Each structure stands twice: as structure tokens, then as C-alpha cells.
Amino acid sequence: MTRSLRDQLVVITGGGRGIGLSTASHFVAAGARVVIGDLDDDVAAKSAAQVGGGAVGLTVDVSDRASYAAFIEQVQAFGPIDVLVNNAGIMPLSPLVDETDEATDRILDVNLRGVITGTKLVAPAMIARGSGHVINIASAVGRIAVANGATYSASKHAVVGFSEAMRSELRPHGVDVSCVLPTVVATELAAGVSATKGMRAAQPEHVARAVVDVAQKPRFETWVPRHSKGIFYVSNALPRRWKDAIGHAIGADRALTDVNAQARAEYERRAARP
């Protein structure tokens, strides 16, 4: 059964750019009331105005519990939260031996702790009324670890594992938990990163449509593009040496290593901002 999103209150973190912004637009088009959360207040406000449909833009730092809690409190003034899309994330790339401890903390705080904190903040009210949906934007890297992004891979693997556990915890209370796993998406986060052989970079609207579809027809795991799920599960059933050979042949093992550093320079600078 397809759920109507009309008048549903949908909260999207990291909603000022890329996947989050496109997702906000698609939820508005589906009739939802949307609140965009972003680290930059001017970006949040401008994005809400761009999305239209009465969308609201508010500031939130998902890595800071006090900031996230204040954000959720502001949102609840509009009514009970029906859907939380934990989309905020960063992807600094480097060999682990070159990654600073500050960068490690930042990746884990935004990509993992932000998801955990957001779920903690909205789950009690969802449990109390017996409905709600938490949608976590993970990554294909949450199933397939890739060199040069070890901590990023770890954070996304953790998001998938956390989501699996929360699905079991919240399902008996009528609350859904879902994961969306995009491959390479043509956003600033993936600047300078090329899709593997036989794959095209997805567009933000492809992920946005998948998120809205999941909100309407809840299921746990959705890959973007859809066929990448089959590739993963088939290759994962093979012996390790075959799996490695296939990964090397399509360039998956070099996906985050053979990148255009110049194209990523501005993103890496912004992602490193405390």
C-alpha cells in the first residue's frame, strides 16, 4: 500500500545542497511539509526559498547534540515529525596514514553520530504515537569498503548496521527504518570521483526519487541505481579472489583513489571546516 505524503512533516538534514536539496524538492512536490536543516543558515534559508511549497530552512550541526536537539525542538513547533531523513554527510578522501585525528573525528561525528543522535531525538515521539519513519542515507560504500576512504567506509558500514538494529527495535512500535545506498552521485561530495566501469554517476534527483518512494512504500534497503544491488550481492557470493578480480576489472578498488584532486580541492577545504 502506498502511503500519502500530503501534509506529512518531513525533516531533511544536509538539505541545503545536492541530494538533500533535491530530496526536499521531491517531498514538496508530493505534498509534504518540509524542514531543511543545514550547517549554514544562509544556505538553509535560500534552499527553502528555492524549494518553495512553504519549506522552512533552519540551522543544525548534526555533529553537536545540543545543536541537533535545538533544531528538533524548533521543528516540533510545526507538529509531530513524520519522516526524518538523515542525509548530512561528508567524504574527505586520503590514505588513512595521512588522515588527521581531527578529520577522523569529523567524519564519524557527522556521518555516524549524527544519524544516531537524530534517531534518538525523534524516536521517542514516534514510538509514543505508533508511527514514523527514519530514512538514513548510507552509501554503496556502506556495503563495499573502498581504499582511500577507510574512515568514510567505516562510517557508512556503521550506518547500515545501526539501521539494521534500529529496524528491529522500532518495528514493533510501528516505526519504520530504511537505508538508501547510492553509488557515485554527481554532487560536490563526489567531485573528482568517477563511476566504475559499466556504471554511470547517478544524479541527485535519482536518489531523491528513491527516498520519496521509500517513504511511500517502506522497505529496508534501496540501492541507487537499483541494479547495483544485484551486482553487489552476486559478487559478494563469490570466493574472495574472484570478487577481488571483478572489483579490479571494473575499477571498484580504485574508485576513491584515482580521483581528480584539483576538482575536489574546494570540497575538501569545506569538509575540513570545524
Question: Can you say how many angstroms the Cα of residue 69 is from the centroid of all Cα atoms in its chain?
Answer: 19
Sign of the alpha-carbon torsion through 78, 134, 169, 175: positive
CA gap 127, 112 in Å, rounded: 22
Helix (H, G, I), strand (E, B) or coil at 58: strand
Measure the CA–CA gap between 147 and 193, rounded to whole angstroms: 13
Helix (H) or strand (E) holding 22: helix 18-29
Instruction: Report the C-alpha gap between 75 and 237 in whole angstroms.
Output: 44
Please report the sign of the dihedral spanned by the C-alpha atoms of residue 44, residue 45, residue 48, residue 49: negative
With CA atoms as reference, report the closest residue to 140 among 28, 258, 232, 13: 232
Q: Which residues are catalytic?
A: 152
